[in-house]
Amino acid sequence: MLALTKRFSIGAGLILSLGAPLAQAVAAPASQSLSSGPATPQFHPVDLVRLRSGGSLMTVDTVRDDQVDCFWTDGTGQTNNATFPVPVLRKF
C-alpha cells in the first residue's frame, strides 16, 4: 500500500510540475505578443558563447545583424574564428 501511495505522489507531482509552464504562459501579460516567438539573445563583444549542439567555449568578437563572429582556442593552442547565425548560439 505504501509503494502505491508513493508512486501516486510521484506521478501527481510530475503532472503538476508539467502544468506549471502552461500556467505561466497563460498568465503572461497582455502586452507580450504570443506570436513573437522565442526571444533572441542579445550578444555583445567579449560575451562567452557555445554552439547549442556543444563544442568549445567561444568569445564573441563582433555582432552584425543576425550573424556573430566568434573566436576560440582549440586543444593544441591554435586560435580559430568563424561566423555563426544567432539562433545556433547560447550565451554563458
Domain that holds residue 65: 48-91
pLDDT in tens, 6-24: 444 444 443 444 444 434 4
Residue 86 and residue 67 in contact, taking contact as beta carbons nearer than 8 Å: yes
Q: Could you give the CA distance from residue 82 to residue 69 in angstroms, rounded to a whole number?
A: 6
- pLDDT on residue 40: 57
Which residue type sits at 43? F
Looking at the whole model, is its pTM more than 0.75?
no
Residue 80 lies in a domain: yes
Residue 73 lies in a domain: yes
Q: Per the structure, how many domains does the chain have? A: 1
pLDDT in tens, 28-64: 444 444 444 455 569 999 999 999 999 999 999 999 9
Residue 59 and residue 71 in contact, taking contact as beta carbons nearer than 8 Å: yes
Q: Hunting for cell 522565442 — which residue is that? A: 38
